[in-house]
Amino acid sequence: MIKQREIEVIIQNTDQRHKFPLGTSLDEIIAELKIKLKYPIIGAMVNNKLKELDYAIFKPKTIKFIDLTHPDGMRMYVRSLSFILIRAAKNLFPNRRLTIEHSVSNGYYCEFEGDNKELSIEDIIALQKEMRLIIDSNFPFVREEILTEEAIALFEKHGSQNKADLFKTRKLLYTSVYILDGVPDYFYGYLAPSTAYINIFDLYKYYNGMLLRVPTISNPDQVAPIVIQDKMFEIFQEHKRWNEIIKVDTVGQLNQATENGTISDLIMVSEALQEKKMAAIADLINDRNPMPRIILISGPTSSGKTTSAKRLEVQLKVLGIFPQTISLDNYFVNRIDTPKDKNGEYDFENIKALDIALFNKQLLQLLKGEEVEVPRFNFGTGERFYAGDFLHLDSKSVLVIEGIHALNPLLTNKIPSNAKFKVYVSALTALCMDEHNRIPTTDNRLIRRIVRDHQYRGYSAQETIKRWPSVRRGEEKYIFPFQEEADVMYNSALLFELGVLKQYAEPILREVSPKTPEYAEAARLLKFFTYLSSIPEKEIPPTSILREFLFGSSFRYH
Tell me: do 47 and 166 sit in the same domain. Answer: no
Single residue among 213, 241, 267 that ends a domain in this structure:
213
Tell me: do 101 and 146 sit in the same domain. Answer: yes
In 15-102, which residue ranges form alpha helices assigned H by DSSP? 26-33, 71-92
Over residues 184-219, the pLDDT tens digits come to 999 989 999 999 999 999 999 999 999 999 999 999
217 contact partners, CB below 8 Å, separation of at least 6 = 68, 69, 70, 71, 74
Cα–Cα distances in angstroms (integers) from residue 281 to residues 172, 373, 476, in the given order: 44, 30, 26
Over residues 464-494, the pLDDT tens digits come to 999 999 899 889 999 999 999 999 999 999 9
In 335-435, which residue ranges form alpha helices assigned H by DSSP? 356-367
Does pLDDT of 395 surpass 80? yes
327 lies in some domain: no
554 contact partners, CB below 8 Å, separation of at least 6 = 542, 543, 547
Minimum mean pLDDT range among 308-317, 342-351, 430-439: 342-351
Share of the chain above pLDDT 70, in %: 99
Does pLDDT of 4 surpass 80? no
Domain range enclosing 534: 230-321+396-548
Does pLDDT of 374 surpass 60? yes
442 lies in some domain: yes
Over residues 430-472, the pLDDT tens digits come to 789 999 999 999 999 999 999 999 999 899 999 999 999 989 9
Rounded distance, CA 139 to CA 131, Å? 11
Q: What is the pLDDT of residue 2?
A: 55
Among 116, 100, 430, 95, which residue's Cα sits nearest to residue 245?
Answer: 430
What mean pLDDT, rounded, does the chain reach?
A: 93
Over residues 52-107, the pLDDT tens digits come to 999 999 999 999 999 999 999 999 999 999 999 999 999 999 989 999 988 999 99
Single residue among 164, 182, 213 that ends a domain in this structure:
213
Helix (H) or strand (E) holding 269: helix 263-287
Tell me: do 14 and 131 sit in the same domain. Answer: no
Tell me: do 307 and 418 sit in the same domain. Answer: yes
Q: Is 353 left (phi over 0), alpha (psi -120 to 50) or beta?
A: alpha
Tell me: do 439 and 519 sit in the same domain. Answer: yes
Single residue among 18, 49, 67 that ends a domain in this structure:
67
363 lies in some domain: no
99 lies in some domain: yes
Q: What is the pLDDT of residue 3?
A: 62
Rounded distance, CA 214 to CA 107, Å? 6
Rounded distance, CA 399 to CA 325, Å? 6
As beta bridge partners, residue 110 has 100, 210
DSSP type of residue 11: E
Greater pLDDT, 552 or 517 = 517
Decide if 102 contacts 428 (C-beta within 8 A): yes
Among 452, 471, 533, 522, which residue's Cα sits nearest to residue 498?
Answer: 533
Q: What is the pLDDT of residue 552?
A: 85
Decide if 335 contacts 382 (C-beta within 8 A): yes
Tell me: do 79 and 52 sit in the same domain. Answer: no
Tell me: do 174 and 196 sit in the same domain. Answer: yes
160 lies in some domain: yes
CATH number for 118: 3.30.980.10
541 lies in some domain: yes
Neighbours of 88 (CB within 10 A): 22
Decide if 52 contacts 75 (C-beta within 8 A): no
Does pLDDT of 307 surpass 90? yes
DSSP type of residue 481: G
Burial class (CB in 10 A: 0-12, 13-18, 19+), 366: buried
Tell me: do 63 and 77 sit in the same domain. Answer: no
Among 125, 122, 131, 118, which residue's Cα sits nearest to residue 90?
Answer: 131
314 lies in some domain: yes
The arithmetic mean of pLDDT across residues 262-284, rounded, is: 95
Q: What is the pLDDT of residue 137?
A: 98
Among 119, 116, 65, 59, which residue's Cα sits nearest to residue 92?
Answer: 119
Tell me: do 522 and 505 sit in the same domain. Answer: yes
Neighbours of 344 (CB within 10 A): 7
Tell me: do 20 and 41 sit in the same domain. Answer: yes
Tell me: do 95 and 43 sit in the same domain. Answer: no
Does pLDDT of 419 surpass 90? yes
Number of domains the chain contains:
3
Tell me: do 136 and 259 sit in the same domain. Answer: no
329 lies in some domain: no
CATH number for 426: 3.40.50
CATH number for 12: 3.10.20.30
